[in-house]
Homo-oligomer: A and B are copies of this chain.
């Protein structure tokens, strides 16, 4: 039974951490599909049956990894959003990706499984709608601009990780601004009055 509040059993958190870490490591080694639950538990140093006491499936573990990571990222991002300090968002995201590179690699590489793009697009569209309105007469619909912004942002993060973190988060923030944010704003968006 899950404990309601206060003190989670130390064994539970330890097992969960080991499983998540093993999933990341094995996915990077052999690819997500090739990883079996038996390998996973062996790598984690955990009994086979114990896995199913934590997750209903391998996908559920990945799903929770995404949720945890997104929650952590949003906790750092939200303060910048309320102060409308949009310029720093790029730096923060790329810094977060760098700090959790392996985890990000797994989540981005198995993005279609976790529904990462859909969830981020929803977040991004809501954020955009709060700050911008469609630019009148633009050839680019608002919906397309929002999708493009999120999708190419994620793509840039994925490239950053695949390329082995060749630049600082600040530099990547500048690239993001020049290649994606500024053009999208200029062509399709208008600041809310």
Listed in ascending order, the chain A residues whose CB lies under 8 Å from chain B are 33, 109-113, 138-141, 143-145, 147-148, 151-152, 155-156, 158-159, 163, 171, 174-175, 178-180, 182-184, 187-188
Contacts and interface: CB of A to CB of B under 8 A. Distances in A.
24 contacts: A109-B112, A111-B112, A139-B174, A140-B175, A141-B175, A143-B163, A144-B156, A144-B179, A145-B179, A147-B156, A147-B159, A148-B152, A148-B155, A148-B179, A148-B180, A151-B152, A151-B158, A151-B159, A155-B155, A178-B187, A179-B183, A179-B188, A183-B183, A183-B187
Contacts of A152: 148, 151-152, 155, 180
A33 B111 CA distance: 14
Given A144-B159, A148-B152, A155-B155, A179 B187 contact: yes
A139 B178 contact: yes
Contacts of A141: 175
A182 B152 CA distance: 15
Contacts of A139: 171, 174-175, 178
A144 B112 contact: no
Identify the 10 closest CB pairs spanning chains A and B, nearest first. A183-B183, A151-B155, A152-B152, A147-B159, A178-B187, A139-B174, A140-B175, A140-B179, A139-B178, A148-B179
Contacts of A184: 179
Contacts of A178: 138-140, 187-188
A144 B183 CA distance: 16
Given A139-B178, A145-B179, A152-B155, 14 more contacts: A109-B112, A144-B156, A144-B179, A147-B156, A147-B159, A148-B152, A148-B156, A151-B151, A152-B152, A152-B180, A179-B183, A179-B187, A179-B188, A183-B183
